[in-house]
Amino acid sequence: MKILFFSRLNSPYRPAFRSYSTFQNLKTVKIVSLIYFLMNISLRLIIITYDLPVQSMRNYAEFNDANIISSIIAPIFCLGSMVLIKRFEQGKPLNYVGPVFVVLFALFIMISGMRSTFFAMHNPRNTLVMYLAGLVITGVFFTFEYFETAILTLVTAICFSLLIPYYQAEYSEIFLNNLASLILLTIFFCISRFAFSNRADNFLKLEAIKEKNLEIETASKLKNEILGIVAHDLRNPLTAIRTLAGMMEEDPTINADNQENVQMIKMSCDKATSIINDLIETAHNDKENVFDIEEVELNQYLLKIVDEWAKDKTGHTNILYYGTSQPIFTHINMEKMQRVMDNLISNAIKFSGDSDHIEIRLRDADGQIFIDVKDFGMGIPEKLLPYIFDRFSRASRRGIRGEESVGLGLSIVKQIVEKHGGSITVISTEKQGTTFTIHMTPVRHNNTEKQR
């Protein structure tokens, strides 16, 4: 943090900080003036209630006059600050009215402290506590520009110098009192500039963060729009290429070499289509805050998914399903949650050998639902575990059979699960396998509902 002792804030955000600090200063004026008013009224009530013999006090007449003046001026400042705050909140510019109003109030507080010091004893420099209190309150609670701090310091010093001869006749005492005042004003100046520098630094950092967040948000929206448009426009020609490849494959005159090339075209189209689907899914999930959900019995739902994989997609890998003895209900988007299960199962197959098997297990423990997808394949290195759910993750690896990945699958899984109000965790040991666990909240039905 740069301390701006003898310079003003030079930044594009200076007008914004000036407006912000003026608003904060006005709120401080409202609070401090109200407290000061209540203090003066309370002091007068205490004197009247307990019939204190204050008339015999030194400088009582001046104290009495000052108390009356403060009791009148403080509410004026309080009401004035309320009016200016309302104008500010309505978007009306305060120009120089707000800052000047705050400076006048600060002078009022500082001179009030000085005045109390004069009233306390015949020699002010022996009792400068109230003077110091006024300076510290002003320096700490308010945010002043450099020239405002300089004006406050100068005016207060002049007021002190003009008033001290009324209380001290000796030139040596006048000099020593002015010296004490100068020391206190130097402390005030340093406190005020440090407070200004600290608040300005924090404000600039917050504004920079807001600006960066806005840039990130704008870039994210633009990226999602581009992803959606590009992915959608690429999917149609890929579908056409795969259709033509399928027609070529059915041609009885095609030889073995060309048949292999056609198979490669189809596999490339399938791979590209899978990547495009991931991109579209990512873009859609970023835009959708909530999914349409419905109540589903998970045993039947998961068993259907496992059957589909066992029939069409697993190759030599065997999938075992372990359900619960009682039905388990929860709210899900069936299409999105199938995407989750498909990603986890395909991931498990990709890193499992042909002789390995995969376990899908549904558990109901401590009133919560857990879905485990466990494989016994190559596992995930420990150093990669913190990154596996990142988008375009650095943890992306080739499968056992050479399958490639762009690192979007698990980030999509996490995104969908969390939008269902759940969470997903992973436990993995190299060469022993990996277990992904989805945690969700069930829907409970009482016995009467079940009988109906």
The first and second tokens of residue 329, run together, are: 């209900």
The rounded Cα 114 to chain-centroid distance in angstroms is 44
User: Considering the entire predicted model, what is its pTM?
Assistant: 0.54
346: which residues sit within 8 A by CB, 6+ positions away? 313, 409
Mean pLDDT on 22-27: 94
Q: Which of 1-10, 57-66, 321-330 has the highest mean pLDDT?
A: 321-330
Average pLDDT, the chain: 84
| H/E segment holding residue 248 | helix 171-249
Burial tier of 302 (Cβ tally within 10 Å: 0-12, 13-18, 19+): buried
pLDDT of residue 283: 67
pLDDT of residue 400: 62
| pLDDT tens-place string over residues 389-437 | 887 665 566 666 656 566 678 888 898 899 888 999 999 998 889 999 9
End-to-end CA distance of the chain: 70
pLDDT of residue 448: 39
Mean pLDDT on 266-289: 73
Cα separation, 137 vs 135, in Å, equals: 6
CA-closest candidate to residue 116, choices 39, 51, 175: 39
Cα separation, 326 vs 297, in Å, equals: 10
| pLDDT tens-place string over residues 240-262 | 888 888 888 787 777 877 888 88
| pLDDT tens-place string over residues 120-148 | 555 555 567 888 889 999 999 999 988 99
Asked if the model's pLDDT at residue 59 lies above 60, the reply is: yes
pLDDT of residue 452: 39
Q: All domains of the chain, ordered by start, with CATH?
A: 14-215 (no CATH), 294-451 (3.30.565.10)
| pLDDT tens-place string over residues 338-374 | 989 988 998 888 888 777 889 999 999 888 899 999 9
